[in-house]
Each structure stands twice: as C-alpha cells, then as structure tokens.
Chains A and B, each alone.
Chain A
C-alpha cells in the first residue's frame, strides 16, 4: 500500500522529469505539471514511487506475461517465433463522459455498417441511390461475389468488431479504421487487466474502474444468438489456423474462457451440408463457427484451392443455412479503406442521423483531383493500401525519405483504386514507463463491439502504444505494445 504524501523529491518525480508535451493531446497532462482530474490518483502514485519500484513492478508484470505464455508471433522473423506482447506498466484512463460518446458512436456506426453489408449483398439500394458508387464496392479486395443473395442468420454480418479510434490534438475521438473481418487483440485487453489488478490494486480500487471481465460471457451469448434458426442448443466452436498463427494465444484463451472447443480445419468434416467435428466419441454437429481465419482460407472448394486451414464443403453448408460464421463472409468490403471514406454517408443513408464519431479526412486516390492534391504533398500525408491491415503497405509522409515517396507516387499512379491518403494526425500521447523514466508515447484505442441480440461494448479496449519515441505506428507487428485501458465509473 502506498501512502500518499507530497514527496516531490522522490525518485518518481525524477522519473517524470523527462516528460515533454509536444503538441499532441496528452492523456494525462493538461499542461506541464497539471494532470487531468481522472489521472490525479495515478499522478500522485508516480510522484511517490521510485524508479526502482516502477522497474520492479514492470519486471513482475513482464514475468507474469511470459509465464502465462501471453505471446504473439512475428512473421518474417525466423529467430524464435514467440515474443511476449510488450505491455506498458501505466494504465490509460478514460472518463465516463468520454466513454459515453464512444459507445453511442460505435453502436451507431456498427448498426449502419451491418445494414450496408446486407444491402450490398442483396438489393444494392445504396448503389442504386448513388450514395456509394458500385465500381468502388465491386472492386474491393474483400468483396465476395459468392455471398450475393445468401441469407445469413438474423441478418448479422459483423458479430465481432474492433474499431480503431484515435484522439486528435483537440481531444476528440475519431475513427481511424473499422476492423470487420477477424479483429484480434481482445485477449491482451483481458490479460493485461488481470496483471494490472495485481500490480496496482490500491490505485485500481480508488479509480473506480468499470469491469471488463464479462467479455467472454458476452461473446459466447452473442455467438449463440447468431446460430441458424431451429438450433436451440447450438454448439459453438472457435476455428483457428493453428499454433503457428500470430494470434494463437488469443484463440486458446478465448476458447477456454468460453468453454468451447478450439478446432482446426482438420477437425471438421462436412457431410450432406452439415458440419461435424471429429471427437473421441465420434462426430459431433457444429452450429456456429467463430472463425479466426480469413475468408480466403475457409473452404478450398470455393476460395484458395490449396489452403489446408479450412475444411472442404464449409461454404455449401453455409449456403444451405446449416452453419453460422462469425463474422459472416465478405464483411471485408465494409472495412475497405476506400469504403471507409463513405461511412459518414452510409450512416446518414441508413439511419438518417449525423455520425457521432467522425472520420479522419480521407482522400481517394481513384479521384483525379484528390490524387493530384495528395501526390504533390506526399510528405504531409499518410498513404495506405486499401485492402491491407496491420500497418503493412503504408507510407507515413513526414517520416519518409524522398525515395519512399517516389516509390509510393508510382504505386499510386499505377493502381489509384488501391490507395487512400489521410493527413498525418498527431495521435494523442499517454505516459509510458520506458527505460526507467516516464515519457509520452502515441496511443490509439480499439474497443471491441459485439453484435448479437443487442450491441454490447465492454467498457475498455486495447490501447495500443507506439513504443518507439515519436513513432505514430502502433501495430504490434511494427513494434507497438499495449496498455490497460480503464474506463471510469463516473
């Protein structure tokens, strides 16, 4: 237990000395030495804790992650496939008022995107009405022709969503990206909470943090709700690509938390358009597949012919209405970065409401005028390939070299539909414990949205941190880490 006194001559104050505000919105400090109200308990604690104590806590936390095997796999790195997920020691704190806006905004956005998906794969009214051009939709990398006219159970396309939010220098949350295919990271949210409670129990209690531990139950009931009609006691399984996938830890974690089977493609058998899993008792029927495999690899008969990750015949079983996938196939069309630019219009079109959460200003490179504008100022923009995720295939203008810009200019001109550009946004910063001192690092926020009988968002999410000083890239594959996210009661 830490006794709070005004002890500015302690090591903790020393650790805070290197903290410089740089024009970004800082989550903790309104101004130098002036913490925001929600951060005061943490700030006090930091003033009282010595750097050694912080370091000890950090080691304790890392050890806990390591022993639990909370790791992820880095592709293209043949030396040791597993690394612990770098977790920052200090929580990121969000007030109840801020969370209220995020929650309402996400419910609105996901509702609209789900309606959009249903429309795109059925009547296509939004195209007919000229709100989103058909040629943009049909050229999306993740548009699935095979999904046209297929009725998905309860019309729910996006069961699990992880939306990336960032905070502008004015302190406003805006949406950077929708992840509607197989968003990952929720296990880090849940496990880092467990570790943080061990490390800062007093602070945790004092701050009155809303719980997130109910996520797994919420996910399970959401998945059960998505079962094909007439299956009253549905069997839900989690389909993983296997132990070599970067998110394998998460797959095992969620399966265990929900008490469902973790299956691989080779465990599944399709017979007469019904899906079974191979158990020691014989074959057991499966109703809902929470799949953590991309569309392309689900069924070699319909998609990638040489994929061994899925199972032959899954898509026919799906078409026959005997199985539900979470998420549905083809949802990637709605998180295409070019479609993203239309989301505010999509929300207005289906819901007749103004978007609660705004987009980041986005330029479509397929539009000649916008393209010319951006190509002349590439050093000011972030350019992204529309079908990519995980921080791959992007150019960060202000941090780029002339050669990189030339390369991207050529790529854009060769395939304009494949790129969008956004102004470089100075993401907000939050205090992180790095190399013995506390320094600001850029962060984003990924809350997880569950769409079942109702839309559920557990109060929290994954705060991703760009651990390299000055970096704006938070993806774990690019040297990012995470921190626990505390949403306060009130």
Chain B
C-alpha cells in the first residue's frame, strides 16, 4: 500500500474517532448541566472543553459559547465540524482505497453536519449535529467493517481509531479525576455516558458508582470497547498484522513500544495507579505519541537510503 494512502486512512480514522469522542462527551455534558449540582455549569463546561480542546481551555469558557465552540466553530481545530471535515478530506484523498459505501456514508454525514448555518445560541440545532455524529459513527464503523477488505488499509484504520480512543479516554479520565473530590453521582454517570459505558458498567459492577471501580472499568477492562486496555489491545493487533504483511520492514522499535504500552495496563491493578492517576495517564498518552512517531518513521516517511538497504 502507498505510504501516503496508509497515512490518509490512519488520519481519516483518527479524525472520525475524535468527532465521535466529542459528540459522546457533549451529549453527556449537555445532559448533566440540565441538573443542579455542586459543580456549576461553568465548571462542567470547563471540564468538557478541557478534555476536548486542550488549547481552548486555558481561556475562560463562556457556557453560552462552549457548545457552539465544540460543535461548529470553523476556527477551532477541535470542533466536531472540523473533525468530520478532516475525516472526509482524508477519505477524499484515498477515494479508490475505501469502499464506495464508506465514502457515500461519510460524504453524506459531512454534508448533513456542515450544511446548516448554525446560530451560536441555537443549542437544539447543535445537539442535533451531536446526535447525527453519534449515530453516524456507529454506522460508519459497521459499514467499514462490512464492506472493506480487512487487509493492510483496514489495519491502519483500526490503528488510527484506537490510538485516538486510548488518548481521548486518558484525557477524559484525567479531567474527571483531577477534581473528583467534588464529584457526585451525576458526574460519574456523565463520565460513563461519555464513554458509552453506563449500561455496560452497571452490568459488570451494579449501579453503585464508585470512582475507583469506574476508573478500573474504563482503564483496564479488556472486554469493553471504550476502555484503554481494549484500545491498546486492538492497536497491538493492528500493528502485528501490518508488520506480518510487510516482512521486510524494521519494526523492532514499534514492537517494543506497543509491548510496553500494553504492559502498562495489562499487569497493573487499579489500586497501584489510582493515587497517581494523573501521572499514569500522562505516561500512557506520551507512549502513544512515541508509538505514533515510530509508525510514521517506519511505514510512512522513511528515508530512501533505508529502503535500498533492505
């Protein structure tokens, strides 16, 4: 597969996952702020913004503007519209590699999401877009799995999706746990809902909402698709498949990095890490960044001299 194509598939997938993550968080946050609680509306919006748009959080968050900022701001690099545009733009660069169904689906979602001129005070319209992306995301995953050959391109799509998800989950967990002392049950429901995890959590741990159990579930649960552990396992699978296909490439560094990452979640208990959760989460994010760079160097932007040596 062309390196440029692999790169575009990877980024298409990352952008889509980013939009999906934002829509989950916004759905949950919007549900939360309707209720009175210890946390003010501003604090809740601040938490949402800081988990979705790290740069923007530094400035004051105006609750009236936050939703619009995260859904439709054409300047903000993190808005849902920007992410869907980014996903589509990458897909457009590799139209011949993805299935027609994937393209049609993504293209339609793009036009639905970007087609309306959104007024900053129109919350209902913003939430309609959020819902569109939520549903669109499940459908896109399904269409992708069902219509695309599960070969190299698919593995790059999987890699992009899960590396993005692992990082987003870590950032979100951090945003909730850094101020967990004030959190009430509603907030914890908010966190679980942000990870599409409320029902799954209740099934596994009952509806008793305990912070360390929630952290355990979202970090270390290998069976749940929106857990860090699950994401890292899928990344490992994708990387192994890619490396098996391209025997000639030097993949030791990638194997070392993904191995270390997995061991960070596979061989710990929540009690080992909950006290220094911020540091632990930052470590996972940093390792993901290193892995991203290593993949880029081996498969995408390798020097010509290296190519002729092998």
Contacts and interface: CB of A to CB of B under 8 A. Distances in A.
Interface of A: 66-69, 242-243, 248-249, 252-253, 255-256, 261-264, 266-267, 269, 271, 277-283
A278 B249 CA distance: 13
B107 A67 contact: yes
Given A262-B94, A280-B1, A281-B246, 7 more contacts: A68-B100, A69-B95, A256-B96, A271-B304, A278-B302, A281-B245, A283-B307
Interface in B280-310: 299-300, 302, 304, 307-308, 310
A253 B97 CA distance: 10
Pick the most buried of A255, A263, A279: most chain B CB atoms within 10 A of its CB: A279
A280 B3 contact: yes
12 contacts: A68-B100, A243-B89, A243-B93, A252-B94, A261-B5, A267-B3, A267-B4, A278-B307, A280-B3, A280-B242, A282-B310, A283-B308
A262 B93 CA distance: 10
Given A67-B104, A249-B95, A255-B96, A280 B248 contact: no
A249 B92 CA distance: 9
Nearest to A277: B2
A252 B99 CA distance: 11
B101 to A, nearest CB: 10
Contact of A263 (B2, B246, B299): B2
Nearest to A252: B95
B152 A280 contact: yes
Contact of B249 (A69, A262, A269, A282): A282
Given A249-B95, A271-B304, A278 B4 contact: yes
A262 B92 CA distance: 12
B246 to A, nearest CB: 4
B6 interface: yes
Interface in B86-139: 89, 92-97, 100, 103-104, 107-108, 111
Given A69-B95, A256-B95, A271-B308, A278 B2 contact: yes
A382 B103 CA distance: 42
Contact of A282 (B92, B96, B100, B246): B246
Nearest to B248: A282
- Interface of B (DSSP majority class): helix
Contacts of A249: 95
A242 B90 CA distance: 12
Q: 10 closest A-B pairs (Cβ-Cβ)?
A: A252-B95, A256-B96, A255-B96, A281-B246, A280-B299, A252-B96, A283-B307, A67-B104, A278-B3, A262-B96
Contacts of A279: 1-3
A261 B95 contact: no
A252 B92 CA distance: 9
Given A266-B4, A281-B246, A243 B92 contact: yes
Contacts of B300: 280
A150 B100 CA distance: 41
A307 B308 CA distance: 26
Interface in B139-189: 152
Contact of B104 (A68, A252, A263, A282): A68
B2 A261 contact: yes
Interface string B2-13: 111110000000
Contacts of B6: 280
Contacts of B103: 68-69
Nearest to B156: A280
A77 to B, nearest CB: 18
B310 to A, nearest CB: 6
Nearest to B6: A280
Pick the most buried of A66, A262, A281: most chain B CB atoms within 10 A of its CB: A281
Contacts of B97: 256
A67 B4 CA distance: 25
A265 to B, nearest CB: 11
B4 A281 contact: no
A130 B246 CA distance: 59
Given A280-B6, A281-B248, A282-B249, A69 B107 contact: yes
A36 to B, nearest CB: 37
A271 B4 CA distance: 19
Contacts of B245: 281
A158 to B, nearest CB: 25
A66 B112 CA distance: 13
Interface in B255-292: none
A67 to B, nearest CB: 5
Contacts of A278: 2-4, 302, 307
